Amino acid sequence: MSADQKLNTLETERPGSFWNLTRPNILSGFLVFLIAMPLCLAIAKASNFPPIAGIWTAVIGGILTSFISNSQLTIKGPAAGLIVIVAGAVIDLGKEALPALPEPVAQTMEQEGKTKVEIADTLEAEQIKTGYRLALGVGVVAGVVQIGFALLRAGKLGDFFPLSAVHGMLASIGIIIISKQAYPVFGVTPEKGAEPLQLLAALPGAILDLNPEIACIGMISLLILFGLPWIKVGWIRKIPAPIVVLLMAVPLGVWFDLNDEHVYSFILGGAEKLFNIGPKFLVEMPEVLKDPGKAFFLPDFSAVGSLTFWKYVAMFSIIASLESLLSAKAIDLIDPQRRKTDFNRDLLACGVANALCASIGALPMISEIVRSKANVDNGATNRTSNLFHGLFLLAFVLLVPNLIHRIPLAALGAMLVFTGFRLAHPREFISTWRVGPEQLAIFVTPIVTTLATDLLIGIAAGIILKLVFHVWHGRSLRDLFRNDVEIMEQPDGSTLVIIHGSAVFSNWLGLKAMLTRIASQHDVVVDLSATRLIDHSTMEKLHEMEQDIQREGRRFEIRGLEEHLPFSGHPLAGRKRAVGLGPIGADSEIRPVNR
């Protein structure tokens, strides 16, 4: 930390300087609130939850977790990465509990002249209504499981999963979000029960039936979201794109009179067509102070004996915990003061908050990366910025619900399409390819598997493929889950750690614990010359550890890679010690490795 940074830290943290301490966090909390509000609504709607459920999640995530977690700059709230799980839980549990309308109801609708499509729509609405309450039951149990993870000190498990597989999982979520949220952007309804790839394939045809006024709002929103980062004017680049979208979309919605049910005509394809318009294209928002019964909902635990219920408990607790840990870790890396999050305490905060959220009808939460980075960029200094972001959201939903009701769903859909694109950006594929062809295969496998099945199977497939590659490189199963280490004290007071066998993601946790313990007392030299295989995940994590320890003014040196052949030209690519080498340090010819 520079002298100026130390001075600024002292000025903001000295006793009695409450205003100096809170001023940057109030400002950052307000700016993050502006970004979070539309995203909370969008994520809730896409998750088959009431839009207000997303607001409650961010309110609880902002206020409650600020007093439990020691994470200084992360913002807690609903995340796009959980949409697939939450929406899936609502649909699957709803269908399981209500496979068909009660016979008397179906007969009455037929007698009233309702079409099969209208009856199917009614069934789907009832399934979502039923599934929502059942998904809340899942959320409560998953929150308790997260608390158990924290008490068992499982925060370190975020380091177990191979990086390429995790990135592949997130990319698959992005593709699924795009496939489902592109339709509301154009004001059209997707085919019921269609899979993501089917939805993407049918999208061009669906666009031909777009609702012009809704599509106008949606397309302009997309143009803003994708185009604003390209504008080089400094003050414009500082305006959050979601705010610009709302400043455009709300007035357009008023101009198109979306709040009143009506029909309008439009010349499309050379012929005049009629289009319905009305409040169904706006955010549904209850007035909490006048009618709290429409703002809060209780969970239903009647599906607790179902395998589907426990499947989603596992998905909620594992995926949400993993995403939250990775986000908190990423924000620690960009914290100007380099403070460290206690991941077990942060996991406890999320578990307690998630159990409470589901108890009142809200979405699950994580440490959200985009809002957290905005928090850092806006100059926040501690966790009170998360607190203020929650308080601003609470005040907004209580005092001006009618303004929220004016937000067009097409604008929220555009925000989610943009979010999905960022998760599955082509740059992710290119950067993974540069690390090595194997990493690309491990990245793509969770995407394909998730689109065909679900997230848990997708991430498991990525892990299994990674282990298969390690075995193919000649490592035994024993090597994959443990490594032999020699520890020697050096004359200069440092500790030499010689790693034998393999240094891969599946044995990293034990290796990290040992290195962290030694580095807390001595300078460390890690010698990898006796290591036969080092994977990309371990290379990256060793590099992070090296940076963290050196930043604290201590020595952490990695050496012994001269006789290893990298799997690509990337500096952190996996490496394999060349076949044909004699004992460590002996002169012998290096033969090419089958990559």
Does the structure show a pLDDT above 80 at 1?
no
Question: Is residue 576 within 8 Å of 532, Cβ to Cβ?
Answer: yes
Question: Is residue 450 within 8 Å of 152, Cβ to Cβ?
Answer: no
Helix axes 83-97, 116-151, angle to 10 degrees: 120
Structure-token pair, residue 436: 């090595």
Q: What is the pLDDT of residue 159?
A: 82
Does the structure show a pLDDT above 60 at 135?
yes
Exposed, middle or buried, 571 (CB in 10 Å: 0-12/13-18/19+)? exposed
Cα–Cα dist 145/125, whole Å = 30
Beta partners for 556? 524
Q: Give the confidence band of 136 by pLDDT, cuts at 50, 70, 90.
A: very high
- Mean pLDDT calculated for residue range 76-90: 94
Beta partners for 277? 262
Structure-token pair, residue 585: 């340090």
Structure-token pair, residue 521: 């007392």
Length of the chain: 595
Count of H helices and E strands in the chain?
23, 12
Exposed, middle or buried, 88 (CB in 10 Å: 0-12/13-18/19+)? buried
The verdict on domain 477-577 having CATH code 3.30.56.10 is no
Cα–Cα dist 592/578, whole Å = 7
CA dihedral sign of residues 535, 537, 542, 544: positive
Q: What is the pLDDT of residue 16?
A: 42
Domain ranges for the chain: 19-422, 426-472, 477-577
Q: What is the pLDDT of residue 428?
A: 93
Beta partners for 559? 527
* Mode of pairing for the β-strands spanning 556-559 and 524-527: parallel
Range list of H helices, 264-377: 307-334, 343-360, 369-377
Query: Rounded to two decimals, what is the model's pTM?
Result: 0.87
Helix axes 83-97, 307-334, angle to 10 degrees: 170
- Mean pLDDT calculated for residue range 174-180: 94
Q: Phi/psi zone of residue 211: left (φ > 0), alpha (ψ -120 to 50 degrees), beta? A: beta
Question: Is residue 436 within 8 Å of 573, Cβ to Cβ?
Answer: yes
User: Which pLDDT tens digit goes with each residue over 545-554?
Assistant: 998 898 888 8
Q: What is the pLDDT of residue 269?
A: 67
Mean pLDDT of the chain: 89
User: Which pLDDT tens digit goes with each residue over 304-361?
Assistant: 999 999 999 999 999 999 999 989 988 988 888 888 899 999 999 999 999 999 999 9
139 membership: H or E segment, kind and range: helix 116-151
* Mode of pairing for the β-strands spanning 531-534 and 501-503: parallel
User: Which pLDDT tens digit goes with each residue over 399-419?
Assistant: 999 999 999 999 999 999 999
- Percentage of the chain with pLDDT > 70? 93
Amino acid letter, 416: L
**Tell me, what DSSP letter sits at residue 408?**
B
Closest Cα to residue 39, out of 417, 332, 426? 417
Exposed, middle or buried, 580 (CB in 10 Å: 0-12/13-18/19+)? exposed
Q: What is the pLDDT of residue 20?
A: 58
**Tell me, what DSSP letter sits at residue 209?**
T
Closest Cα to residue 538, out of 568, 571, 572, 564? 572
Cα–Cα dist 225/242, whole Å = 7
Q: How far is CA 398 from CA 37, 266, 328, 381, 391, in A?
A: 13, 38, 30, 28, 11
DSSP-based three-state secondary structure for 572: coil
User: Which pLDDT tens digit goes with each residue over 15-50?
Assistant: 445 555 678 899 999 999 999 999 999 999 999 999
Exposed, middle or buried, 486 (CB in 10 Å: 0-12/13-18/19+)? exposed
Q: What is the pLDDT of residue 10?
A: 34
Closest Cα to residue 368, out of 412, 425, 326, 316? 326
Q: What is the pLDDT of residue 337?
A: 84
Q: What is the pLDDT of residue 7?
A: 34
Q: Look-up: residue for tokens 């598997």?
A: 449
Q: Which residues, 6+ apart, have CB-to-CB distance to 311 below 8 Å?
A: 456
Q: Look-up: residue for tokens 């549990």?
A: 93
Choice among 165-169, 270-274, 297-301, 476-480 with the minimum mean pLDDT: 270-274
Give buried/exposed letters for 34-65 (b at 16+ CB in 10 A, else e).
Answer: bbbbbbbbbbbbbbbbbbbbbbbbbbbbbbbb
Q: What is the pLDDT of residue 579?
A: 59
Cα–Cα dist 594/217, whole Å = 54
Q: What is the pLDDT of residue 5?
A: 44
Choice among 28-37, 96-105, 267-276, 447-456 with the minimum mean pLDDT: 267-276
Structure-token pair, residue 230: 């390209």
Cα–Cα dist 86/176, whole Å = 13
Task: Read off φ and ψ for residue 18, nearest 5 degrees.
Answer: -60, -40
Cα–Cα dist 127/229, whole Å = 40
